[in-house]
Homo-oligomer: A and B are copies of this chain.
């Protein structure tokens, strides 16, 4: 009953209680996937491990993927929050913001998907099957890039001849091996030199 305790204050069917249970399922699934991997786990395994019935889990999530999506959305949300923190809290130059963006994306990506928790296979599914969470994440990273390039252009820090779209798309592509967890796995050997080498190349391409 511990994990299932429903707050007395709950009044409607989509109230906080339901969110709490969803969160409990996600947290437990997160633990379980970290240990046993996402691909190899079934909803039945998960139900057994959490101590819920399979039917009960299905009341909250349509499928294993839906649980994976929730975990992934959390992780990617943490990455975006870390980038937001690094890039938007102090008034700094566009150059410095771009450097921080790349460093933070790589550091939090490695940390979340490869060090702390073995969540890599969820991230890989998310990226390869283009889950909603992955698409949202990519769009958010792109928004940061747009914002940084705009700032740099307005401040005269970056060149303005190339169409904004082209500049942003090209930077996005250049950063893809480190932004996309599926590609990041093949680039772990390079993450020491990369923040500097790739960022410097991008910054040289932006010189007025």
Which residue numbers of A lie inside 8 Å of B, CB to CB?
128, 159, 162, 166-167, 169-171, 173-174, 176-177, 180, 182-183, 186-187, 190, 193-194, 197-198, 200-202, 204-207
Contacting residue for A176 out of B170, B171, B177, B201, CB 8 A: B177
Kindly state the separation between the CA atoms of A166 and B171 in the bound complex, as whole angstroms: 18
Q: Which residues of B contact A193 (CB under 8 A)?
A: 169, 173
Q: Say whether A197 contacts B183, CB under 8 Å.
A: no
CB distance from A165 to the nearest CB of B (A): 10
With CB as the reference atom, state the residue of chain B lying closest to A172: B197
Chosen A-B contacts, 16 in total, with CB atoms closer than 8 Å, are: A128-B186, A162-B200, A162-B204, A166-B200, A167-B201, A169-B197, A170-B200, A171-B201, A174-B174, A174-B198, A176-B190, A182-B186, A201-B202, A204-B204, A204-B205, A207-B207
Q: Say whether A190 contacts B173, CB under 8 Å.
A: yes
Q: Which residues of B contact A183 (CB under 8 A)?
A: 177, 183, 186
Q: Which residues of B contact A171 (CB under 8 A)?
A: 201
3 closest Cβ contacts across the A-B interface? A205-B205, A204-B205, A170-B201
Overall SS of chain A's interface: helix
Q: Say whether A173 contacts B194, CB under 8 Å.
A: yes
Kindly state the separation between the CA atoms of A200 and B206 in the bound complex, as whole angstroms: 11
Q: Say whether B186 contacts A174, CB under 8 Å.
A: no
Q: Which residues of B contact A201 (CB under 8 A)?
A: 167, 170-171, 173-174, 201-202, 205
Q: Say whether A173 contacts B200, CB under 8 Å.
A: no
Q: Which residues of B contact A207 (CB under 8 A)?
A: 207
> Which of A180, A198, A205 has the most CB atoms of chain B within a 10 A radius of its CB?
A205
